[in-house]
Structure 1
Amino acid sequence: MNRPTQTKEAILESALYLFHLKGYHATSIRDIAHKAKVNSANIAYYFKNKQGLLEYCFTAYLEAYIQLLEKNLVQLDRIGAQNGLLAILTDVFEFQRKNFLAASFIYGESALDSNLNREVLSTYYMKENSYFQYVLEKGIKEGIFRKIQPAIFTLQIKGLLSAPIIHAHYAREVLHVYTQEKYYTDKYRDEICLFLEHSLFVKRDIQEELLYNVSSI
């Protein structure tokens, strides 16, 4: 990694740490520069100002997140909707774990009503919604998912995905569970898979019966 890239990454990591610790409004450019061990002018050079840094934090995280979803959608026809959905969940949990500070900050900021959040909702989250609904509708059409309302179930999936991030403090202080650690991420994912097995996935013997009925028409 070259020097300019290292400087930019140091600024970004320091900003996310301080935004998460103190909040966006309570964090100054000087705080970020001190934490990153750079001159304040470096922040102005790469991000213009604190608002530019905030927008970069959002777009960098969400661009990578959308690319992760798209990577899994490409193989959906080959592996099927059920395996595809499980692969998406596994990748998303791992992505959130590796980018825990960014995820925590962005989930928190996304709850606020702002111009930036409205732009995010109309772009990245609209894409996310269409991808999840595509997977769910494909699974229903294939007869391997129960006939649920995709919009409602997407909301449930969003809640399940965000819970380890949004409730990280509760998990740590009350449950003594550290949701950014891989052991707990994997355990949580396994529990979600069990939930889907009972709430969404059609049992294999019923799948075979449905396929037989379709083929005999």
Structure 2
Amino acid sequence: MTEALQKTYQLRFSGVEEYRRQVWQVLTENFFQKYVAKVAAILDLGCGWGEFINHIQTGEKYGMDLNPDSGQRLNPEVTFLHQNCSARWQLPDGRLDMVFTSNFFEHLPSKDHLSRTLQQAKRCLKPGGRILYLGPNIRYLPGSYWDFWDHHIPLTHLLLMEILRMSDFQVERCIPRFLPYTMAGEKRPSLRLVRWYLKLPIAWRVFGRQFLVLGRNGG
């Protein structure tokens, strides 16, 4: 499993690593930072190569991934948790203010793994803590959603909201169409265009293929 993850990352993202880093810096500064307090404790679940957690400004940072290469790419202030996310997390109860995860849940092998992962998120979040998820919406990607061999769970914004509520989270915000699909291909919009796009929600309704859902831990 570990070797497969390492190979997948290398094949999929080699050559676009610097561009991805720059795009995530724009996304973090111009959109996601408003959801994260500067003194918060945050976990990047399925942190990959650290594109989000390395850029977000906050007090206490954790990154979790099964890929051991992830730990080598995280900034020194990020604590790396190398583990299966559906097993008990290496964090105490109520440690976190936020769990952020991007393009990750669809890679879990089953809905049961997703349910157990959300149970761990709830345990480790403070009462009122939040979970913020960004991911591909199969409703708007009926074919290309399956172009990645490691996509297992078909997700829509409605499905994720339902499982969050079943896990005793309250849904605070849902954007069914937010960002375009993927940075694994050859298309590389300019950073100026990315900044412009974030300021125009009307464009999200046309080009958005990923959804955003924000949930709150009810305690």
TM-score, normalised on structure 2?
A: 0.29
Higher strand share: 2
TM-score, normalised on structure 1?
A: 0.29
Structure 1 or 2, whichever has the larger Rg, is 1
